[in-house]
Amino acid sequence: MTRLLSVASILLLVRQEATTTLPHHHVTLEHVVSLSLYLTDMKLILSGDIHPNPGPSSNSDSSSISTDSYTDLLNSGVSVMHLNIQSLKPKLDILQVEAQPYDILIFTETWLTRSTTDEDLHISNFNLPFRYDRPDRPGGGVAIYVREGFHATRRHDLSVAGVESVWIDLKLNKRTFIIGGIYRPPDSNNNHWLLLEESIDRAFNQACENLIIAGDFNINVQNSNTNKMSRLVSSYNAEQLISTPTHFTETSNSLIDLIVVKHTRHIITSFVADPFVPNLIRFHCPVVAILKLNKPKVTAYRRKIWLYERGNYDDFRSQLNCINWQEILDNDNLDTTAESITSSIIDTASRTIPNKTFTIRAKWHSLVR
């Protein structure tokens, strides 16, 4: 499958390589920065496999479905996508491209803190996120993005203290959908499960027939109807839509990223999509449901154009050489390090490669991979 890769995509591959092959205290300037700069130069500047200006397009290929069919599928209704993102902020550059086909984005394991503002998390063509940040320890968290032109409000009354969740009302075509995003940590005890049940029970007891819950529940429901998640879904006569594995490691796969709906009559289809970053060893796949709703008409979108043929790459390399990479790598938090490397390279590219941001006033077309 042809893919559109960005600087952040390359850096995520570097980070994955570092975390899976080297102890953190061995991730040095030689191992990470040299590799990231080499990949950046080679992939971004020289390789013909990288699209020079990734953005909304209808010309990409898919290994499992034709471009036209995939575009038609995504345009046939309103799409809800969930992904365990495993640190949201460093992946925003990828999401500027990969998120564009979808209408509602639900991310778990956002790993955000209160020091990160909503404005820092902007994704083009989406409103600023509704979010829950874990307050007492690193990790976890949930965020929901809603496409511009859609009307959504937060439902704090459905949240339960101690449960990592975000609930919203989505009002579209004179109908209301309750949409929830939930993250259940793998080390959760039974008391946490009871709190999670309470939050879900509040949602099911609302006078709303259109209910969708998506998230990473860290309970493998593959080939089993006896686990407590499956039993909970059955107790409401609800349906869990996803049937194939969503989480992969070196030696295993599991179905832990789920989409639960009150009624399937509101669903056109559901599926597991390709991972946003290829060739990772450990990863979650996006899970998607298409709702029977007409999309609001979108007449414009913003797109950043990089004029690579006019870039000053000698200056680009010179400015990169002036950055104190060792200071960045001395940070004990690998995600902060990856974010700093990403920001340093993208900021340098912005100064040395001409670029412009345009508002494209045309009918929006879904981006397909």
* Closest to 7 (Cα-Cα) out of 51, 59, 60: 51
Spatial contact of 126 and 145, defined as CB atoms under 8 Å apart: yes
Helix (H, G, I), strand (E, B) or coil at 361: coil
**In contact, 313 and 45? CB cutoff 8 Å:** yes
Cα 47 from chain centroid (whole Å): 26
Q: In a 3-state reduction of DSSP, which class is residue 248?
A: strand
CA–CA dist 348, 350 (Å, integer): 5
Do 344 and 323 touch, CB atoms closer than 8 A? yes
3-state secondary structure of 289: strand
* Domain range annotation of the chain: 7-54+308-360, 78-291
d(CA 236, CA 9): 40
Interhelix angle 228-235/190-204, rounded to 10 degrees, is 20
Low-confidence ranges of the chain (pLDDT < 50): 1-8, 10-11, 13-35, 37-63, 362-369
Neighbouring CB atoms inside 10 A of 354's CB total: 13
Are 85 and 105 in contact by the 8 Å Cβ rule? The answer is no
Instruction: Tell me how far apart the alpha carbons of residues 13 and 29 are, in angstroms, rounded to a whole number.
Output: 16
- Neighbouring CB atoms inside 10 A of 200's CB total 24
pLDDT on residue 336: 80
Q: Count of alpha carbons within 13 Å of 92, Cβ hemisphere only?
A: 21
Who's near 128: CB < 8 A, 6+ residues apart?
Answer: 118, 119, 121, 122, 145
pLDDT at residue 164 in the model = 98
The string of pLDDT tens digits covering residues 111-160 is 999 999 999 999 999 999 999 999 989 999 999 999 999 999 999 999 99
* Cα distances (Å, whole numbers) of residue 31 to 38, 146, 248, 277, 337: 11, 39, 26, 21, 13
pTM flag (> 0.75)? no
The pLDDT assigned to 308 comes to 83
Query: Which pair of tokens denotes residue 14?
Result: 């570097």
Distance CA 185, CA 194 (A): 14
* CATH of 78-291 given 3.90.1150.10, 3.30.70.260, 3.40.50.300, 3.60.10.10: 3.60.10.10
How many helices (H) and strands (E) the chain has is answered by 9, 17
Q: What is the DSSP letter of 44?
A: I
What sign results for the dihedral spanned by CA atoms 44, 46, 50, 52? positive
SS3 143: strand
Which is nearest to 369 in space by CA: 58, 157, 130, 28? Answer: 58
Residue 107: phi and psi, rounded to 5, are -115, 135
Residues 6+ apart with CB under 8 A from 94: 6, 8, 9, 12, 276, 277
What pLDDT shows up at residue 290?
96
DSSP 84-137: E-SSSGGGHHHHHHHTTT-SEEEEE-----TTS-SGGG--TTBPPPEEE--SSS
Q: Closest by alpha carbon to 146, among 108, 113, 106, 91?
A: 106
Question: For helices 334-352 and 7-21, what crossing angle results, to 10°?
Answer: 150
Q: Enter the DSSP assignment of 147.
A: B
